[in-house]
Amino acid sequence: MDYAAALLSKLPGTSSRRSKDIKQLVETLEAYMPAEDIEQVMNSYEFGALAHQGQTRMSGEPYISHPVAVAQTLADMHFDGQTIAAAILHDVIEDTEISITEIEKQFDSEVAALVDGVSKLDQMEFTSRAEAQAESFRKMMLAMIEDIRVILVKLADRLHNMETLKSMPREKQARIARETLEIYAPIANRLGINHMKVLLEDLGFRYLYPFRYSVLQNALKRSKGSQRQIVKRISERIMKAMQEEGIDGEVRGREKHLYSIYKKMAGKKR
C-alpha cells in the first residue's frame, strides 16, 4: 500500500518538501515496521498536520515539518510505531487546543503517555540554572521519566531544533546551545547514543562559540588530507602486526569531532 500517497491525498495543499519528507519517513518505516504500525504513524501525521495547521516555525516552514523530522531521526534508529507516533504528536498538547485525553482516545494510552511525558519535560526550566547544577538537573530529568522512550523523543526534538537554530536571534541561540551542551549531550552520552551526542555537541559548540567553531573547522579542513594519510599508515602497520601474530580482526580509525578537539585544547590551554 502507498501510505504516503493515500495520506497526502487527504491533505490538499501539501508542499513538495513536505511530500518528500513524509515519503522518506514511510520508506524508512517500511524497511522494518509492520503495516498496522505504519498505519498508526500515518494517522498521527494526519492528526498532527491538522492540529498544527496554520502554525509556522521561525524559519517560515509549516510547523508540522519539525515533528516529522523528529520522527525521521527515531525511524532511522528503528524505533517502534508508538514512539514514532508520539514524536509526530509531541508538541500537540503544548501548542494546540488538543488535550491528552483526546490523544488517548484517538490513539492509545501508550502513545498518550509518551506525549504527556515529553510535554512535562518541556515544562522544566533550565534558563536560570547555574552550570554547576547541570548534573542534578540531568538526574532530575531521568528520574521523572517512567519510559526511556520519552527522553529519546526529547533528544531527537532537541537535535532538530539545533539543526534549525539559524533562524533564532543570537541571544537565544547561545542560551539553547549552552543548555544543549550542559543537559542534552551528556544525557545522550549516558544512554550510549554516541552519534546523537556528537551531533548535539558540535551544534552546541557552533552556536555557543561561533568564531572559535569557525577557526577550528577551517584548521581541520586544511589538515584533513595529511591526517587521513597518518591514520591510514598507522592502521596498515597495526593490521600487518596483527596478521603476523595470527590475530583475526580489523582496524578502524576515526576523526575526533570538533567539540572534542576544542575541549582538549581548552583543557591544555592551547
Residue 131 confidence (pLDDT): 47
- Answer yes or no: 80 catalytic: no
Please say whether the dihedral angle defined by the alpha carbons of residues 138, 144, 148 and 150, taken in this order, is positive or negative: negative
pLDDT in tens, 160-204: 999 999 989 999 999 999 989 998 999 999 999 999 999 999 999
Residue 107 confidence (pLDDT): 94
How many Cβ atoms from other residues are within 10 Å of residue 176's Cβ? 22
Choose the catalytic residue: 2, 27, 76, 94. Answer: 94
Q: Minimal CA–CA distance to 2: which of 17, 29, 15?
A: 29
Per DSSP, the chain holds a count of helices (H) and strands (E) of 15, 0
CA pair distance 256, 263, nearest whole angstrom: 11
Secondary structure (3-state) at 13: coil
CA pair distance 84, 74, nearest whole angstrom: 7
Choose the catalytic residue: 37, 46, 95, 110. Answer: 95
Q: Which of 12-26, 61-75, 95-109, 254-268 has the lowest mean pLDDT?
A: 12-26
- Answer yes or no: 94 catalytic: yes
Q: Which of 3-7, 41-45, 59-63, 214-218 has the lowest mean pLDDT?
A: 3-7
Q: Using alpha carbons, list the distances in angstroms from residue 1 to 26, 35, 38.
A: 11, 9, 10
Q: If you write DSSP's letter for every residue of 82-147 in order, what string do you get?
A: HHHHHHHHTTHHHHSS--HHHHHHHS-HHHHHHHHHHHHHHT---TT--GGGHHHHHHHHHHT-SS
pLDDT in tens, 28-62: 999 999 999 999 999 999 999 999 999 999 888 99
Q: Which of 9-18, 57-66, 136-145 has the lowest mean pLDDT?
A: 9-18
Q: Which of 9-18, 87-96, 154-163, 231-240 has the lowest mean pLDDT?
A: 9-18
CA pair distance 105, 163, nearest whole angstrom: 33
Residue 143 confidence (pLDDT): 73
Confidence (pTM): 0.85
Residue 9 confidence (pLDDT): 57
Q: Which three cell numbers stand for residue 85?
A: 507516533
Q: Minimal CA–CA distance to 3: which of 32, 49, 36, 51?
A: 36
pLDDT in tens, 58-98: 888 999 999 999 999 999 999 999 999 999 999 999 999 99
Average pLDDT of every residue of the chain: 88
